[in-house]
């Protein structure tokens, strides 16, 4: 586990992968992709870090308690946003005039969809990390 | 364009057979990543960039890593 080439390449690539994942999540409502794809890319970046620098370093950067909370929090945010529509007299996930619609094609548009995308992205990314940690755990 | 599609479909079938026939499971995992990559390009040609993106991230990225983690805990060769 002392490979300088691997360390250097991963240090160069990690910021690019993370920024790409965030880009996919934030543009989920105007371009292909969205919460799941972007979250999977973010999760892949975290797993790459864990594979390269060892599980101890990855648990230090992203402890299991944090990933568990983010995982549940993403779902709760999604359900909470959905319930706003239910409370205001529509179906689940109805936009009852709460979220501004904006101009189509802009990043700041689409009502609640960007918020849902961010929630899904955080959930999927931390789920991948939790899965990986659970798999590599010593019995 | 159609020539490329035919080539990719043939490559897809070839890699799928290779995954099934290989006794060395590490090679099988790596060929499976190649299978996912070919499938992802095919999704792009079939005008489904959304699915292509997910396939590239999940199929070629995370599935490979998780299968490798499983392989590290078990044996490399199929009995």
Is the CB of residue B5 less than 8 Å away from at least one CB of chain A? Answer: no
> If pLDDT is split at 50, 70 and 90, which confidence band does A79 have?
very high
pLDDT value of position A139: 56
Please tell me the distance from the alpha carbon of residue B1 to that of residue B44, in angstroms, as a whole number.
12
Q: Does ipTM come in above 0.95? A: no
CA-nearest of A75, A79, A82, A74 to A98 is A82
Put simply, the answer to whether B66 touches A131 (Cβ < 8 Å) is yes
CA-nearest of A62, A53, A67, A57 to A6 is A53
> A32 and A113 in contact (C-beta within 8 Å)?
no
Q: How far apart are the first and last CA of chain A?
A: 22
For chain A, give the mean pLDDT.
Answer: 86
Task: Tell me the residues of chain A between 25 and 84 that have a Cβ less than 8 Å away from chain B.
Answer: 32-34, 36-37, 40-41, 43-44, 47, 51
Please tell me the distance from the alpha carbon of residue B72 to that of residue B79, in angstroms, as a whole number.
16
The helices-and-strands tally (H runs, E runs) of chain A is: 4, 0
Residue B33: is its pLDDT beyond 80? Answer: yes
Number of structural domains in chain A? 1
Q: Sketch the domain layout of chain B as residue ranges.
A: 2-73
pLDDT digit string, tens, across residues A94-122: 877 778 787 887 888 878 888 899 999 99
Nearest CA-CA distance, residue A2 and chain B, Å = 19
Put simply, the answer to whether B65 touches A44 (Cβ < 8 Å) is yes
CA-nearest of A47, A67, A66, A65 to A57 is A47
Query: Which residue range forms the structural domain that includes residue A67?
Result: 4-136
Is the CB of residue B57 less than 8 Å away from at least one CB of chain A? Answer: yes
Residue A1: is its pLDDT beyond 60? Answer: no
H helix or E strand, kind and range, residue A72: helix A64-87
CA-nearest of B54, B43, B10, B16 to A40 is B54
Is the CB of residue A13 less than 8 Å away from at least one CB of chain B? Answer: no
Which residues of chain A neighbour B52 with C-beta distances below 8 Å? 32
């Amino acid at each position: 586990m002392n490979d300088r080439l691997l360390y250097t390449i991963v240090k160069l690539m990690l910021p690019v992968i993370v920024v790409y994942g965030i880009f996919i999540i934030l543009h989920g409502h105007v371009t292909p992709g969205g919460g799941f794809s972007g979250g999977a890319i973010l999760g892949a970046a975290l797993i790459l870090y864990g594979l390269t620098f060892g599980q101890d370093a990855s648990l230090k950067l992203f402890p299991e308690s944090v990933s568990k909370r983010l995982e549940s929090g993403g779902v709760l945010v999604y359900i909470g946003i959905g319930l706003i529509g239910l409370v205001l007299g529509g179906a689940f996930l109805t936009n009852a005039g709460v979220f501004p619609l904006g101009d189509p094609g802009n990043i700041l548009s689409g009502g609640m969809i960007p918020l849902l995308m961010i929630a899904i992205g955080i959930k999927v990314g931390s789920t991948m990390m939790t899965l990986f940690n659970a798999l590599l755990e010593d019995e | 364009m159609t020539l490329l599609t035919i080539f990719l479909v043939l490559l897809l079938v070839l890699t799928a057979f290779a995954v099934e026939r290989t006794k060395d499971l590490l090679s099988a995992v790596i060929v499976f990543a190649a299978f996912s990559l070919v499938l992802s390009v095919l999704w792009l040609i079939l005008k489904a960039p959304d699915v292509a993106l997910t396939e590239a991230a999940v199929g070629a990225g995370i599935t490979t890593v998780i299968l490798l983690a499983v392989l590290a805990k078990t044996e490399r060769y199929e009995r």
